[in-house]
Amino acid sequence: MIRTSPHFVKPTPLQVVMLKVAGALLPGIAVYAYVFGAGILLQLLLATITALATEAACLKLRNYPIKPFITDGSAIVTAWLLALSLPPLSSWWMIVLATVIAIGLAKHLYGGLGQNPFNPAMIGFAVMIVSFPAQMSRWNAPLSLPNADLTPLQQFGYIFTGQLPEGLSFDTLASATPLDAMKTALMQSHSMSDILSGAIFQAGYFPSEMGWIAAAFLLGGLFLLQQRVIQWQLPVAFLATLALFSGVFHLLNPAHYSSPFFHLFSGAAMLGAFFIVTDPVTAPTTPRGRLIYAALIGLLTWLIRTYGGYPDGVAFAVIIMNIAAPFIDQYTQPAVFGRKGVAGKGGKA
């Protein structure tokens, strides 16, 4: 917010807000590229181009002026969040299709920015993981692991053509994410000590490399809090609830439930906490409503990760709670000054 006098506050322009959000993502993107390679940079570029083109096409079809909306930065932020959610070496058509769905359907089908009830990036991700589960599970190993050090050109070539240098196959580069490896091993009745002694964890994939990516997104999120771009209730309630439930069950049965540290610093927890859960369009507007909304997202994330069919539950938890946001808002409105009765319901004068 920009203060113009002791009594009036001028809203920060949307372009400035989106610029700060994009800037806050840069540390995480830099570490992500260092760990997984330059393929993520190409995914970000493809997503950005597709988002701007889809935004312009939808605005044209709706007879809206293109320049004011295409330059507000919202489409680019959606594109970046989506690119960071897909496997870094997924085929080019996947990020293009996901971005068209996010911008064209999840955003403009409902009337454009400010009218969409669901987070567009999470809708794009959810459609892809439900429609193409095999492709969405094909994550390449970090560059630090043996036989995974592809050059940027080799990664770009694989994204566009699906071809690798002679003698290499994707199976030699593939690696389960820590969340996926943990979930699969637990379903096979392995204990946590056995899982943590496995190759994927002993090689440093977690906690060092995934932990650094999460820490970079945490750093960007703290910047957004300091700039008052996001409300503290949302990331704090989400992370605290995720840590609480994972911590309680880990204490009760450490052989079967992973620790809070694992849940917070693997997967999309930090990215979700500061950049997805905090979406002002799809989240409640009241302070108490934000706490309830984000806490329930944290609980659903833990439930999906622990008992659901997907290794990371952030996207589905956010979409489910997007549905409930108007209801939460309705019943957490503060009482109207000078009126009696239940808050948010009007009451009697």
Preceding omega of 207 cis (within 30 degrees of 0): yes
Tokens of 227: 């700039």
Give me the mean pLDDT over the 307-336 stretch.
Answer: 91
For the chain, percent of residues with pLDDT exceeding 70: 85
State phi, psi for 174 to the nearest 5 degrees: -70, 150
pLDDT tens across 38-49, in order? 999 999 999 999
Q: Is 55 helix (H, G, I), strand (E, B) or coil?
A: helix
Q: According to the model, what pLDDT value does residue 349 have?
A: 40
The domain segmentation of the chain, as residue ranges, is 12-174
Low-confidence winner among 41-55, 147-161, 185-199, 263-277 (lowest mean pLDDT): 185-199
pLDDT tens across 211-240, in order? 889 999 999 999 999 999 999 999 999 999
Q: Are 60 and 88 in contact (CB under 8 A)?
A: no
Q: Are 120 and 78 in contact (CB under 8 A)?
A: yes
Looking at residue 13, the DSSP 8-state letter turns out to be P
Distance between CA atoms of residues 218 and 25, nearest Å: 10
Give me the mean pLDDT over the 248-256 stretch.
Answer: 91
The answer on pLDDT for 343 being more than 60 is no
Looking at residue 310, the DSSP 8-state letter turns out to be S
Query: Dihedral through CA 192, CA 196, CA 198, CA 204, nearest 10?
Result: 160
Q: Is 38 helix (H, G, I), strand (E, B) or coil?
A: coil
Could you tell me whether strands 9-10 and 2-3 are parallel, antiparallel, or unpaired per DSSP bridges? antiparallel
Q: According to the model, what pLDDT value does residue 324 have?
A: 95
The answer on pLDDT for 59 being more than 90 is yes
Distance between CA atoms of residues 258 and 107, nearest Å: 36
Instruction: Give the model's confidence band at 93: pLDDT under 50 very low, under 70 low, under 90 confident, else very high.
Output: very high
Give me the mean pLDDT over the 336-349 stretch.
Answer: 54
Q: According to the model, what pLDDT value does residue 82 have?
A: 97
The answer on pLDDT for 169 being more than 70 is yes
Distance between CA atoms of residues 79 and 63, nearest Å: 23
Q: According to the model, what pLDDT value does residue 346 have?
A: 46
Distance between CA atoms of residues 18 and 25, nearest Å: 11
pLDDT tens across 263-297, in order? 999 889 999 999 999 999 999 999 999 999 999 99
Q: In the block, which residue shows the tokens 């992370």?
A: 239
Instruction: Give the model's confidence band at 138: pLDDT under 50 very low, under 70 low, under 90 confident, else very high.
Output: confident
